[in-house]
Amino acid sequence: MTDIPASHPRRASLLARERLVEGVRAGIVSEAGLIAHGRGEAFDYLLGERTTDEAVAACRAAAALLLMARRPVMSVNGNVAALAAERAVALAAAVGGARASRGAAEGAMRLEVNLFHRTEGRVRLVADRLRAAGARDVLGEAPDARVPGLDHARAMCSSQGVGTADVVLIPLEDGDRAEALRRWGRTVIAVDLNPMSRTARAAHVTVVDELTRALPVLARETVALAGEPDGRLRAVKEGFDNAACLRAVLGRMVARVPELDLGPPC
């Protein structure tokens, strides 16, 4: 790892980049995953690299969905594991604890490895990374179900996970899979930096934020709502308008543009 000074204004972004490059070398991240990360970086730059009020509101709506779910599952791909394995595991623990405190029949939010560029070796490495981060129960290595409407490799999923989930959390997901999951009747929560992406638009709730910032906010909101009655959770969910939220975030990005200096930097 390069030494990036603690004071560097873009330290978080540079560290994320290093984690992904390490992830490629470790066999966890695909080359396409690096390109996708770069696209996200551009949108995060426009966002000012900070969590917006809209992202917090989306996390709150997502938290309500996770608490009310019969069976929530979080999908993990190579970029998610490389960037935020610990935070994904911590979120699953927070959601599980909050659900258990409500007396949910199946408390846990399970983690399922799903890769867009699937190889069995990479699935194993991603699962190992999650286990190294503390996950005890990782699905995806023995897929036995299919998401309808996707070609074979991309359709594979676990009957214990996405196959029987009602609510799926899909951070950094491909548009085809996000749309297929929605068509399949899943309630979809996405984390995506591009408010115009097909994934962002296909989801019922889209958190437009950088993953490592978003996951702790989602955990915090889930814990905060854990004691609320179902009626209140439904009201939170029904008060959230995803298209309006996407439009507001995009408006923030656009509004920042005139503030940016376009003159020579030197």
Which residue in the set 202, 207, 226, 233 belongs to the binding site for its own copies (CB under 8 A)? 202
Encoded one letter per residue, x for contact with its own copies by CB under 8 A and - for no contact, window 45-74 reads x-----------------------------
Pairwise CA distance, residues 243 & 247, whole Å? 6
Q: Which is nearer to its own copies, 6 or 257 (CB)?
A: 257
Q: Is 260 in the site for its own copies (CB under 8 A)?
A: yes
> Residue 157: in which H helix or E strand, if any?
strand 156-157
Does 1 interact with its own copies (rule: CB under 8 A)?
no
Q: How far apart are the first and last CA of the chain?
A: 29
Q: If you compute the radius of gyration of the chain from its CA atoms, what whole number of angstroms results?
A: 18
Instruction: Assess 198 for contact with its own copies (CB under 8 A).
Output: yes
Contact assessment for residue 98 and residue 222, using Cβ atoms and an 8 Å cutoff: yes
Q: Give the whole-angstrom CA distance, residue 153 versus residue 40.
A: 25
Q: Is 151 in the site for its own copies (CB under 8 A)?
A: no
Cα gap 74→235, rounded to integer Å: 23
Least Å from the CB of residue 224 to its own copies: 28
Of the candidates 8, 11, 38, 119, which one interacts with its own copies according to CB under 8 A?
A: 38
Q: Binding to its own copies by residue 31, rule CB under 8 A? A: yes
Give me the least distance between CB of 28 and its own copies, in Å please. Answer: 13
CA distance 260 to 37: 23
User: Shortest gap between Cβ of 147 and its own copies (angstroms)?
Assistant: 13
Please answer whether residues 236 and 65 qualify as being in contact, where contact means their C-beta atoms are separated by less than 8 angstroms.
no
Alpha carbon of 39 to those of 1, 10, 164, 192, 197: distances in Å?
Answer: 22, 16, 32, 10, 11
* 70-78, 82-90, 155-163, 248-256 -> range binding its own copies (CB under 8 A): 248-256
Residue 82's nearest CA partner among 214, 211, 177 is: 211
Residue 175 interacts with its own copies (CB under 8 A): yes or no = yes
Could you say which of 41, 49, 86, 141 contacts its own copies (CB under 8 A)?
A: 41
- Choosing from 5, 9, 103, 263, the residue that interacts with its own copies (CB under 8 A) is 263
Task: Determine the distance from the C-alpha atom of residue 189 to the mean position of all C-alpha atoms in its chain, rounded to a whole number.
Answer: 8
The number of angstroms, rounded, from the C-alpha of 40 to the middle of its chain's C-alpha atoms is: 13
Q: Which one of the spans 4-12, 18-26, 59-67, 128-136 is the region binding its own copies (CB under 8 A)?
A: 18-26
Instruction: Name the residues that contact its own copies, by CB under 8 A.
Output: 17, 20-21, 24-25, 31-32, 34-43, 45, 175, 179, 182-183, 194-196, 198, 200-202, 243, 246-247, 250, 253-254, 257, 260-266
